[in-house]
Structure 1
Amino acid sequence: MKFKVETFPNYRTVFMRRIGQYGPANIEVMENLKKWAKERNLLESAILFAIPQDNPETTLPDNCRFDACIVIPNDHQVVDDSVLEGHITGGKYLIYEVKHTAEDIQKAYSNIFQSLQNNGYKKDTKPIMEKYIGDMVSNPYCEICVPVKP
């Protein structure tokens, strides 16, 4: 698998969380977040992250947390209880560009740990994230961002 290395800054975010088995319902959460962001003119040049917070192999499916996040400016005032405020801790990430289909993303996730090992990297404790730029209508790809130890 091809990847590039990037160092992310710390990001301020707002997010919507869903708890339950990962799957198609996660798309609804992202669509709700995008609608929220569009209504506030935050979507067009946005950085969005889809963050599965838990490993479904070690967490009961009904307890898995999924966060749909959008990066917001530090001076943006959030006065809305339909979203939660958060942050993404910066650091070093391996970035895998993947076609945005369920099949390709699943295939990438199954190959990531072998890729890390083959290239001498160790995963950090932060969650793996999917990164999307802008409204994503014309971009059929996403980036899977894997945090690695320095």
Structure 2
Amino acid sequence: MKSKIETLPTYRVAYLRRVGPYGSANYEVMEKLKAWAKEKKLLDSATIFAIPQDNPETTVPENCRFDACIVVSEEFQLDDTIMENELPGGRYLVYKVEHTAEEIQKAYKEIFSSLQSNGYQFDNKPIMERYVGDMTSNPYCEICVPLKQ
């Protein structure tokens, strides 16, 4: 897996949350977010994050939270159909991964051993999947793993 260190800014995001077992229902939440963003004319130059908030090995599946987020400007006015949050900035180890369920699952299995073998320490913030630009023609996503400073 290819990786690089990147310092991400703090982002203001609009987001939708789903609670329940991770899986295909997360895709539906992401599609709902993209439909909202398209209606607001935000999708053309979008940065979108998919954030599994909980570790399914330590959280019961029915309590796992998944957030589908899109970066918005400070001036952008949100409506009552969507929530607002701030994603923490900082140092991240960014892995470029083929955007298929199999490759993403494989990457998540390899991330922690890769961190240890490269001498990095995981920071206690969510791991984020980042999608930038035209997601229909870009076959890759980036998995952003927070690192301790």
TM over 0.5: yes
Residues 21-58 of structure 1 deviation map (CA, whole Å, 9 limit, x = unaligned): 00000000000000000001101101000000000001
Q: Give the match for residue 39 of structure 2.
A: 39
Residues 95-128 of structure 1 deviation map (CA, whole Å, 9 limit, x = unaligned): 0000000000000000000100010001100000
Letter matched to residue 44 of structure 1: D
Letter matched to residue 14 of structure 2: V
C-alpha separation in 2, matches of 1:27 and 1:133? 17
SS in 1 for 2:2: coil
C-alpha separation in 2, matches of 1:29 and 1:135? 18
C-alpha separation in 2, matches of 1:76 and 1:36? 14
C-alpha separation in 2, matches of 1:69 and 1:55? 19
Alignment of 1:76 onto 2:71: no
State the 1:62 CA deviation. 0.2
C-alpha separation in 1, matches of 2:62 and 2:133? 31
Structure 1 segment 1-150 matched on structure 2, within 5 A? 1-78=1-78, 80-150=79-149
C-alpha separation in 2, matches of 1:13 and 1:75? 12
Structure 2 residue runs of 5 or longer lacking an equivalent are none
C-alpha separation in 2, matches of 1:84 and 1:117? 35
Letter matched to residue 16 of structure 2: M
SS in 2 for 1:3: strand
Q: Identical aligned pairs, as a percentage?
A: 66
Structure 1 residue runs of 5 or longer lacking an equivalent are none
C-alpha separation in 1, matches of 2:62 and 2:36? 26
TM-score when scaled to structure 1? 0.98
Letter matched to residue 136 of structure 1: M
Letter matched to residue 64 of structure 1: C
Moved more, 46-55 or 128-137: 128-137
State the 1:134 CA deviation. 2.3
The two structures, once aligned, show a CA RMSD in angstroms of: 0.7
After TM superposition, where is structure 1 displaced by more than 6 Å over at least 4 residues in a row?
none
C-alpha separation in 1, matches of 2:134 and 2:72? 15
